[in-house]
Amino acid sequence: MCGIAALQLRNPLLHSQMGSLLSSMMCQIVDRGPDSAGLAVYDTPGLVSGNTSTLSLLGKEQGLPTAGIAAALENLLPASAGTAVKVVGDTTFVSSAVDTELLAKAVSETLPDSTIIGRGEHVAVMKSVGHPMDIAAEHGLEAMSGSQGLSHTRMATESAVTAGGSHPFSVADDLCLVHNGSFSNHATIRRDLLREGVVFDSDNDTEVGARYIASRLKQGDTLEEALTNLGKVFDGFYTLVVTTADSMAVVRDPIACKPAIIAETDDYVAMASEYRALASLPGIETARIFEPEPGKVYTWSL
Amino acid sequence: MVTLIETQTQDYATVTDEVSTLVDLADSPVRDLNQALHGAADGQSWTVENPGGKHSLAVGINAAASVTINGHAGYYAAGMHQKGEVTVNGNAGVGLAENIMSGKVHVKGDASQSAAATGHGGLVVIDGNAGARCGISMKGVDIVVGGNIGHMSAFMAQAGRLVVCGDAGDALGDSIYEARIYVKGTVASLGADCIEKPTKAEHLAELAGLLAAAGRADNPTEFKRYGSARNLYHFSVHNSTSY
């Protein structure tokens, strides 16, 4: 199985409730994937800020105290960049007013064993092993505000139960992907991407999907085109949710093996594996509720 | 020689409401509801509030009781339905009325995939749309869908009738046996061994009966009938090298 809950808030007045709404959705999909979980939140004050790149690093222990990491990074980055390091739950966040690529390079030099699980100006990514609601609580999801949120509860099938194998996979600036299902030809596509020079962090099939989408976007595809192309190349079962700095997309495989349901109001677009995750959203009684059609790409922009 | 599996028009349970027992799922578990329903007597009536998309609501009812669910139901609502009537004033999730034996299940909204899967008898009415695999492996159940149905519906359907007042998705009736399908709108594609068949007076009569049982006013003459070409019934020697 695996559970997905995603929320895009159209009404800025709801931004302050993003964390509590996403948390209420997430607790209804725990049964679908209780072994590990992950979260992506967009434009959450305290985690990201404008004109500043933020990297999310897997784990709270990086082998150096946060002050030590900050000092080492400051040596590699311009003094005016205001480099900062902080730990929230099981995630280390590094931010600096430089290009994401430059910050990632400095982090790799300072912490060669670290795994970057999120990057960009808008997104913060958190993931870990354990009960999904414990992971959400440790990171303080309930109190977070933001414009979009994405959560995934995992029942691992294709690769090991590790924090690195948890979703979302965020492999390009502000891009996140979560997946319910399994890709059957991911090894072949992984080899093709490796030949293009793409570097992987895990053995996970979903990471191949995320790297493929990032590769297509880099080649000029729109998000919709990238997901249409994914449907032509990838074989297997999938319901995918992809988020970017200002948009959200949902697609199911052409035989609709995995569930998905969407609720849309003037205030938000919410997607979940099951209706019960949407049941407590405000205004759900009058929302437009539908199941996405197989093989059709749906996108919504803020 | 082809042996036909007879499909007969059934009498669907009608239940008289007396006093309705109210169950609020906001503050009581689904298990209590189902256990109480398993002890229900004929003629009793139940109203379920705040279903919140919970799974397995009103499953395995074996008394001529009526259950009204006010809101959206989750997976496997009214599964293994034996007697009585379940009404969902909302949508239903995956596997609505799975393996229904008799009685009636009525969803006022949409139903997700695999509605009435493997149903042996009874009537399932969905006023809205049904997802993929509606009536998959149906074995005698009657299904009336007010809207559209998804792909692979009535796959390996053995007996019973499927009525679709909207459009049907791809591969309708793939590997169908003797179930009968009536579609008013378009069919995206027919599955293997499923063909359009002539609609005779007897078919119009049974269709009229099904539409009436579902409380619908559609005109039976506007439907087309689909069923098995019966080419897959027997092993063909031409396929001997395929195995």
Chain A touched by B66 (CB under 8 Å): no
CA distance A110 to chain B (A): 49
Chain A touched by B52 (CB under 8 Å): yes
Q: What is the pLDDT of residue B15?
A: 52
Q: What is the pLDDT of residue B9?
A: 45
Q: What is the mean pLDDT of each run of 10 residues along chain A (302 residues)?
A: 95 98 96 94 96 97 95 95 96 97 96 96 97 96 98 89 92 96 96 96 94 96 97 96 97 94 98 96 96 96 94
Q: What is the pLDDT of residue B14?
A: 52
B-interface mutation test, from A275, A286, A293, most B Cβ less than 10 A away = A275
CA distance B166 to chain A (A): 16
Instruction: Give the N- to C-terminal CA distance of chain A in Å, as an integer.
Output: 30
Chain B touched by A295 (CB under 8 Å): no
Q: Are strands A236-243 and A247-252 parallel, antiparallel or unpaired?
A: antiparallel
Q: Which residue in A275, A291, A294 is closest to B72 by CB distance? A: A275
Strand, helix or coil for residue A135 = helix
Alpha-carbon distance of A200 to A191, in angstroms, equals 11
Here the tokens at position A123 are 């997104």
How far CA A91 is from CA of A110, A125, A135, B40, in Å, comes to 17, 8, 10, 53
Q: Which residue in A280, A291, A294 is closest to B151 by CB distance? A: A294
Alpha-carbon distance of A84 to A66, in angstroms, equals 9
Asked whether the predicted pLDDT for residue B241 surpasses 90, the reply is: no
Query: Residue B69, Cβ neighbours under 10 Å: how many?
Result: 28
Asked whether the predicted pLDDT for residue B7 surpasses 70, the reply is: no
Q: Which residue in A255, A275, A280 is closest to B91 by CB distance? A: A275
Q: Show residues of chain B in contact with A279, CB under 8 Å.
A: 52-53, 72
The residue written with tokens 């999938």 in the block is A238
How far CA A63 is from CA of A47, A69, A73, A88, A105, in Å, comes to 21, 9, 14, 16, 18
**Strands in A135-273 per DSSP E:** 148-154, 169-172, 175-183, 236-243, 247-252, 261-264, 268-272
Q: What is the pLDDT of residue B238?
A: 80
Q: What is the pLDDT of residue B16?
A: 52
**Window 8-67 of A, Cβ < 8 Å to B:** 28
Q: What is the pLDDT of residue B18?
A: 59
**Active-site pick, A2, A27, A176, A257:** A2
Residue B135's pLDDT band (boundaries 50, 70, 90)?
very high
Judged by CB atoms closer than 8 Å, whether chains meet at B74 and A291 is answered as no
Q: Show residues of chain A in contact with B55, CB under 8 Å.
A: 276
Task: List the one residue out of B197, B119, B192 whose CA is nearest residue B158.
Answer: B119
Contact (Cβ atoms closer than 8 angstroms) between residue B13 and residue B84: yes
**Window 71-110 of A, Cβ < 8 Å to B:** none
Judged by CB atoms closer than 8 Å, whether chains meet at B131 and A278 is answered as no
**Strands in chain B per DSSP E:** 20-24, 45-49, 66-70, 85-88, 104-107, 123-126, 139-145, 159-164, 180-183, 194-197, 224-228
Give the pLDDT mean for B15-43: 89
Judged by CB atoms closer than 8 Å, whether chains meet at A278 and B53 is answered as yes
Alpha-carbon distance of A73 to A109, in angstroms, equals 9
Contact (Cβ atoms closer than 8 angstroms) between residue A25 and residue A133: no
How far CA A96 is from CA of A39, A58, A234, B116, in Å, comes to 22, 18, 36, 56
Chains A, B: CB pairs < 8 Å: 44
Give the pLDDT mean for B94-101: 98
Judged by CB atoms closer than 8 Å, whether chains meet at A275 and B150 is answered as no
User: Which are the contacts of A229, defined by CB distance < 8 A and separation ≥ 6?
Assistant: A216, A221
Q: What is the pLDDT of residue B1?
A: 39
Asked whether the predicted pLDDT for residue B170 surpasses 70, the reply is: yes
Alpha-carbon distance of A38 to A164, in angstroms, equals 10
Give the pLDDT mean for B200-218: 98
Judged by CB atoms closer than 8 Å, whether chains meet at A294 and B152 is answered as no
The identity of residue A217, as a single letter, is: L
Active-site residue, A2 included: yes
Here the tokens at position A270 are 């919410």
Chain A touched by B132 (CB under 8 Å): yes
Q: Average per-residue pLDDT in chain B?
A: 92
Residue A139 burial (10 A CB sphere; 0-12, 13-18, 19+)? buried
Give me the long-range contacts of A221-229 (CB less than 8 A, separation at least 24). A223/A247, A223/A249, A223/A299, A224/A249, A224/A297, A224/A299, A227/A251, A227/A297, A228/A297
Asked whether the predicted pLDDT for residue B213 surpasses 90, the reply is: yes
Alpha-carbon distance of B110 to A217, in angstroms, equals 36
Phi, psi of A111 (to 5 degrees): -125, 75
CA distance B188 to chain A (A): 14
Q: For A240-296, write each residue's pLDDT tens digit.
A: 999 999 999 999 999 999 999 999 999 999 999 999 999 999 999 999 999 999 999
Give the pLDDT mean for B80-108: 97
Here the tokens at position A197 are 């020079």
Asked whether the predicted pLDDT for residue B108 surpasses 60, the reply is: yes
Contact (Cβ atoms closer than 8 angstroms) between residue A247 and residue A299: yes
Q: What is the pLDDT of residue B19?
A: 78
